[in-house]
Structure 1
Amino acid sequence: MGLIFSCIASVFNAIGLALVAIVNAIGSVLQAIIAEIIACFDTIISCFTCGSLVRRNRAPATTSVV
Protein backbone atom coordinates (compact mmCIF):
# COMPACT_ATOMS: atom_id res chain seq x y z
CA MET A 1 0.00 0.00 0.00
CA GLY A 2 2.91 2.36 0.75
CA LEU A 3 4.32 1.76 -2.69
CA ILE A 4 1.09 2.92 -4.37
CA PHE A 5 0.89 6.03 -2.19
CA SER A 6 4.53 6.84 -2.94
CA CYS A 7 3.92 6.51 -6.67
CA ILE A 8 0.82 8.72 -6.54
CA ALA A 9 2.69 11.32 -4.46
CA SER A 10 5.51 11.35 -7.01
CA VAL A 11 3.04 11.92 -9.84
CA PHE A 12 1.46 14.87 -8.02
CA ASN A 13 4.90 16.24 -7.21
CA ALA A 14 5.88 16.07 -10.89
CA ILE A 15 2.65 17.82 -11.91
CA GLY A 16 3.27 20.55 -9.33
CA LEU A 17 6.83 21.09 -10.54
CA ALA A 18 5.62 21.29 -14.15
CA LEU A 19 3.04 23.93 -13.21
CA VAL A 20 5.66 25.96 -11.35
CA ALA A 21 7.96 25.78 -14.38
CA ILE A 22 5.15 27.02 -16.63
CA VAL A 23 4.41 29.95 -14.33
CA ASN A 24 8.11 30.85 -14.15
CA ALA A 25 8.37 30.76 -17.95
CA ILE A 26 5.35 33.04 -18.33
CA GLY A 27 6.84 35.43 -15.77
CA SER A 28 10.17 35.50 -17.60
CA VAL A 29 8.51 36.21 -20.93
CA LEU A 30 6.45 39.05 -19.44
CA GLN A 31 9.55 40.51 -17.78
CA ALA A 32 11.42 40.47 -21.10
CA ILE A 33 8.51 42.13 -22.93
CA ILE A 34 8.21 44.87 -20.30
CA ALA A 35 11.98 45.49 -20.38
CA GLU A 36 11.86 45.91 -24.16
CA ILE A 37 8.92 48.33 -23.95
CA ILE A 38 10.83 50.40 -21.40
CA ALA A 39 13.92 50.38 -23.64
CA CYS A 40 11.82 51.60 -26.58
CA PHE A 41 10.36 54.44 -24.50
CA ASP A 42 13.87 55.33 -23.32
CA THR A 43 15.04 55.53 -26.94
CA ILE A 44 12.05 57.64 -27.99
CA ILE A 45 12.51 60.06 -25.08
CA SER A 46 16.23 60.30 -25.81
CA CYS A 47 15.44 61.07 -29.44
CA PHE A 48 12.91 63.79 -28.54
CA THR A 49 15.30 65.45 -26.13
CA CYS A 50 18.25 65.06 -28.55
CA GLY A 51 20.02 63.04 -25.89
CA SER A 52 20.82 66.19 -23.92
CA LEU A 53 19.53 64.76 -20.65
CA VAL A 54 21.47 61.54 -21.08
CA ARG A 55 24.71 63.31 -22.00
CA ARG A 56 24.41 65.74 -19.12
CA ASN A 57 23.96 62.97 -16.57
CA ARG A 58 26.58 60.58 -17.91
CA ALA A 59 29.46 62.86 -18.92
CA PRO A 60 30.11 65.76 -16.57
CA ALA A 61 31.60 68.90 -18.10
CA THR A 62 35.32 69.20 -17.54
CA THR A 63 37.61 72.09 -18.32
CA SER A 64 41.20 71.83 -19.41
CA VAL A 65 43.91 73.86 -17.69
CA VAL A 66 46.30 73.55 -20.65
Structure 2
Amino acid sequence: MGAVVSCIKSVFRAIGNALSAIINGIAGILKAIINGITNVLNIIISFLTCGRAGSRRSRMSNRTSHHGRTTRAI
Protein backbone atom coordinates (compact mmCIF):
# COMPACT_ATOMS: atom_id res chain seq x y z
CA MET A 1 0.00 0.00 0.00
CA GLY A 2 2.91 2.36 0.75
CA ALA A 3 4.26 1.93 -2.77
CA VAL A 4 0.94 3.07 -4.27
CA VAL A 5 0.88 6.19 -2.12
CA SER A 6 4.50 6.94 -3.02
CA CYS A 7 3.72 6.54 -6.71
CA ILE A 8 0.72 8.87 -6.47
CA LYS A 9 2.83 11.45 -4.61
CA SER A 10 5.48 11.38 -7.30
CA VAL A 11 2.86 11.77 -10.04
CA PHE A 12 1.46 14.86 -8.34
CA ARG A 13 4.98 16.19 -7.74
CA ALA A 14 5.78 15.76 -11.44
CA ILE A 15 2.57 17.54 -12.44
CA GLY A 16 3.36 20.37 -10.03
CA ASN A 17 6.90 20.72 -11.40
CA ALA A 18 5.58 20.79 -14.97
CA LEU A 19 3.04 23.50 -14.12
CA SER A 20 5.73 25.49 -12.32
CA ALA A 21 8.02 25.26 -15.34
CA ILE A 22 5.22 26.44 -17.64
CA ILE A 23 4.47 29.41 -15.39
CA ASN A 24 8.17 30.33 -15.18
CA GLY A 25 8.41 30.15 -18.97
CA ILE A 26 5.42 32.44 -19.42
CA ALA A 27 6.88 34.89 -16.88
CA GLY A 28 10.20 34.89 -18.74
CA ILE A 29 8.47 35.63 -22.04
CA LEU A 30 6.44 38.46 -20.51
CA LYS A 31 9.57 39.92 -18.92
CA ALA A 32 11.39 39.87 -22.27
CA ILE A 33 8.44 41.60 -23.98
CA ILE A 34 8.24 44.28 -21.28
CA ASN A 35 12.01 44.89 -21.43
CA GLY A 36 11.77 45.23 -25.20
CA ILE A 37 8.95 47.76 -24.95
CA THR A 38 10.91 49.69 -22.31
CA ASN A 39 14.00 49.83 -24.52
CA VAL A 40 11.99 51.06 -27.52
CA LEU A 41 10.37 53.77 -25.41
CA ASN A 42 13.78 54.83 -24.07
CA ILE A 43 15.09 55.11 -27.63
CA ILE A 44 12.09 57.21 -28.67
CA ILE A 45 12.48 59.51 -25.64
CA SER A 46 16.20 59.85 -26.31
CA PHE A 47 15.51 60.71 -29.94
CA LEU A 48 12.86 63.30 -29.09
CA THR A 49 15.02 64.98 -26.44
CA CYS A 50 18.23 64.80 -28.50
CA GLY A 51 19.80 62.54 -25.89
CA ARG A 52 19.47 65.07 -23.06
CA ALA A 53 17.07 62.92 -21.04
CA GLY A 54 18.22 59.74 -19.42
CA SER A 55 20.80 58.63 -16.97
CA ARG A 56 23.36 61.05 -15.62
CA ARG A 57 25.91 58.29 -15.53
CA SER A 58 26.41 58.26 -19.31
CA ARG A 59 27.06 62.00 -19.39
CA MET A 60 29.39 61.86 -16.41
CA SER A 61 31.49 59.12 -17.95
CA ASN A 62 32.09 61.27 -21.04
CA ARG A 63 33.62 64.06 -19.00
CA THR A 64 37.34 64.05 -18.53
CA SER A 65 39.15 66.04 -15.95
CA HIS A 66 42.29 67.85 -17.03
CA HIS A 67 44.89 68.37 -14.39
CA GLY A 68 47.89 70.53 -15.09
CA ARG A 69 51.24 68.92 -14.42
CA THR A 70 53.55 70.93 -12.28
CA THR A 71 57.31 70.51 -12.36
CA ARG A 72 59.86 71.96 -10.01
CA ALA A 73 63.25 73.08 -11.03
CA ILE A 74 65.82 71.77 -8.62
Choose between structure 1 and 2 for higher RCO, CA contacts under 8 A separated by at least 6 residues.
Answer: 1
Is the helix fraction higher in 1 or 2? 1
Higher CA-based Rg: 2
Unaligned 5+ residue runs, structure 1?
none
Give the structure 2 partner of residue 46 of structure 1. Answer: 46
Q: Which amino acid aligns with 1:38?
A: T
Length-normalised TM-score, structure 1: 0.83
Root mean square deviation, CA, Å = 2.1
Cα deviations across residues 7-59 of structure 1 (Å, max 9, x unaligned)? 1110010000000010010001001100000000000000001112248x222
Length-normalised TM-score, structure 2: 0.75
Q: May I ask how many residue pairs the two structures share in their alignment?
A: 65
What is the alpha-carbon distance in structure 2 between the residues aligned to residue 36 and residue 46 of structure 1?
15
Identity %: 45
What is the alpha-carbon distance in structure 1 between the residues aligned to residue 29 and residue 14 of structure 2?
23
